[in-house]
Amino acid sequence: MAPPTLADVIFPEQANHNFSRILGDLKRSNLSVSNRLRSICRDAAFVDDVATALGHLPLVANERCGSWYIDPARKAASAYFKSTDGHTGQWKFSTRRLNLHLLALIGDAGGCIIVDSTRRGKRMPDALSKTVPIWCAVLNRALFPSPAGAASHHDHHALVTPPNVVSASEASQISALLPQFAASFAALAIDPAPLRRQLRHRPLRPFWITPEDDDNHLALAAAGVARVARELDCLPVVCCTASRRVAGPGAEIGEGGGYVQGAADDTENWALGLTPAVFWRHREALLGAQESELPALIAELVAGEKEERARAAGEGVGWEVKRVAAPGVFVGTLAGRGKVLAEGGACVVALVSGTTERSEWVKGPAHLEVGLGKHKAASRQLRDALPLICEFVLRYLRRPQTGENRVVVLCESGRDLSVGVALAIYCWCFDDAGNVRSDSDRVTFTKTSIRVRLGHIVTALPEANPSRATLQSVNSFLMDWRK
């Protein structure tokens, strides 16, 4: 038999192309919607086990990913800790997402569990390994400063990170920035006394649990959290990574059952409009459907949820506006516009998703309907709309009237555009004492002064989540215009 030639040993170019195509098809098949949903359920069961092992500490979803892994019946709150604030060389303490609403929950329950995940093959997301530890260290420094000549809380001022994830070098670099981060929080001029009381005068300390801590290891990890928290007299902030680590690109293909790490990440690319609330409400039907049936089933369920929300909004069910600034500035969703207008006694600024001409915005002496478009385009268009909006509101506020001045700003989510406009109104129309500005007032706005007002708003409205583009438009308007 003749020995094999080189051509027999080396795959021809066409075969290599076929292998690449086959591997790509396998990867896409593994990342199917059905595999993702099953993986989410598997990870959610681990999160439930963690909560049980830790004495049923309240579960907090780090949005947007975390809510997929928590049964809504057990979800106590949402948080916004960004992974990008923990990226190497980009470490940050966010004054836009203070997450101060968690303090009362943590103090009342003796701690909490923050749930998140990552799809990048890491052991845990940067939000849990670095952003949350930065938050804990900064708040400890702000709320529990050491008295002169004492070191009662010195240890709690230090950065605590998971040593098997964050190197000593990186932890040292982050630690060097903590005084700067603490100063940025102090610049917001938030009264620390109520926050200390919410925490029962006990500092925060982060801990970490991952799916590697399964079965007996989970019980040991929970016992360790309780012991350290007791010894240090601190409140545990347990960072729970929901998904098991899958090592190496394409390794999911070899996982039995098509497991997907961080399956809930990047929902805009796979979820077809499905949300955590819809998923948990119809979980059995979704898990029982074939892959080919899922697009139609999801479309049907999402449409049904939208109809239900529209019906509830029309009946005024579950709708309210929330005061975000002491002078009488409120924020809400467009679902309640009819109710607010019917009640009267308020200046209503409705930010709608359609694009309309500026000449059509004024609907009455106390009603403005601003058509900016959707999403990022709306945030960018906001810059040019703010002068008209703020002057409209200012004219309303200066009118002779009885009772409290009320300004209600509404948008689709009640968390982004409406918050940005409320911030602009708060700065433009009111002075530091909460009085309506007069024509004689001359004000120069700075990033610091705007950030202080934003701190007031996000403290009053924890779910506020204005996008970077929205805040850039507000900053540009306020700092480019002079009163």
User: From CA 105, how far away is CA 118, in angstroms rounded?
Assistant: 25
User: Which of 100, 98, 97, 102 lies closest to 115, judged by CA?
Assistant: 102
Q: Is the dihedral of CA 328, 334, 336, 340 positive or negative?
A: positive
pLDDT of residue 25: 43
pLDDT of residue 1: 59
Give me 43's structure tokens.
């990870």
Asked if 437 and 443 touch (Cβ cutoff 8 Å), the reply is yes
Percent of the chain with pLDDT over 90: 59
Q: Is the dihedral of CA 323, 329, 333, 336 positive or negative?
A: positive
User: Which of 205, 17, 252, 5 lies closest to 111, judged by CA?
Assistant: 205
Question: Do you know the residue count of the chain?
Answer: 483
CB atoms within 10 A of CB 386: 22
Phi, psi of 113 (to 5 degrees): -120, 120
DSSP string, 174-217: HHTTHHHHHHHHHTT---HHHHHHHTTT--EEEEEE-TTS-THH
pLDDT of residue 251: 47
DSSP H helices in 331-416: 337-343, 375-397
Per the DSSP assignment, residues forming a β-bridge with 369 are 350
pLDDT tens per residue, range 90-105: 999 998 889 999 999 9
446: Cβ contacts below 8 Å, ≥ 6 apart: 479
First to last CA, the chain: 94
pLDDT of residue 402: 67
pLDDT tens per residue, range 288-347: 999 999 999 999 999 998 887 767 655 554 457 888 887 899 999 888 888 888 888 899
User: Which of 129, 117, 230 lies closest to 170, judged by CA?
Assistant: 129
User: Which of 231, 143, 225 lies closest to 188, judged by CA?
Assistant: 143
User: From CA 121, how far away is CA 246, in angstroms rounded?
Assistant: 6
pLDDT tens per residue, range 384-408: 999 999 999 999 999 887 677 899 9
* pLDDT lower than 70: segments of the chain: 1-30, 147-154, 214-216, 248-257, 310, 312-319, 402, 440, 481-483
> Per-residue b/e over 36-56, b at no fewer than 16 CB within 10 Å?
bbbbbbbbbebbebbbebbee
